[in-house]
Structure 1
Amino acid sequence: MVNKAKELAIHDKDTGSSEVQVAQLTVKIENLSKHIKQFKKDKHSSVGLLRAVNKRKKLLDYLKKNKVESYKEVISKLNLRK
């Protein structure tokens, strides 16, 4: 998680920018996806996964509207679909 977030950070102590938040949510989504594949009946975690996916989608929409270059960089570095 730290590596992806550090690549997209604007400065050394950057933890709140949209780019870093998207990177952190991406790692969380990957971990929850693995967990849910193993424990299919864990509904609480699947709700958390849906919330994380929706939040990441909103942040990506914000980047796409306001910071197009940053959006393209995030998409390419995190290997996300457009």
Structure 2
Amino acid sequence: MSLTKETKSDIIKQFGGSEQNTGQAEVQIAIFSRRIRELTEHLRAHPKDNHTRHGLLKLVGKRKKLLAYLNKTDIERYRKVLADLDLRK
């Protein structure tokens, strides 16, 4: 259920520019979005898995906070992340 090393490194390269740039808000939002997508698929198959549901809600909250931060600090980067990840706001 977790991301593989290769998948995570691809996301980091795409949104961070280099392998070392893991703390950038765009990278973290992209990783959270990928995990949210995977957990959503898991919950469709296992609707009574409340532990996973709780983890999913925590991830959604973290992503929401990062998106709010990005919106407040740099609106252009925020809009680019929304477009790249196909998120709606």
Question: What's the TM-score once normalised by structure 2's chain length?
Answer: 0.85
Deviates more, 1:46-55 or 1:12-21: 12-21
Identity %: 40
1:59-70 matches, within 5 Å, as 59-70=66-77
Aligned partner of residue 64 in structure 2, secondary structure: helix
For 2:81, the equivalent position in structure 1 comes to 74
**Count of residue correspondences:** 82
Deviation at 1:69, TM superposition (A): 1.2
Match of 1:16 among 5, 23, 40: 23
Higher relative contact order (CA 8 A, sep 6+): 1
2:41 aligns with 34
Q: Once the 2 structures are TM-superposed, how far is the Cα of residue 4 of structure 1 from its aligned partner?
A: 3.7
Q: Give distance in 2, aligned partners of 1:71 and 1:5.
A: 17
- Equivalent residue runs for 1:41-60 within 5 Å: 41-60=48-67
SS class of match (1:41): coil
Structure 1, unmatched stretches of 5+, are none
Encode CA deviations 1:36-67: one digit per residue, 9 max, x unaligned: 01011100000000000010000000000001
* Larger mean Cα displacement after TM superposition, 3-12 or 71-80: 3-12
AA of the residue aligned to 2:58: R
Aligned-residue Cα RMSD (Å) equals: 1.3
TM-score by length of 1: 0.91
5+ unaligned residues in a row in structure 2: which ranges? 1-6
How far has the Cα of 1:10 moved from its partner? 4.1
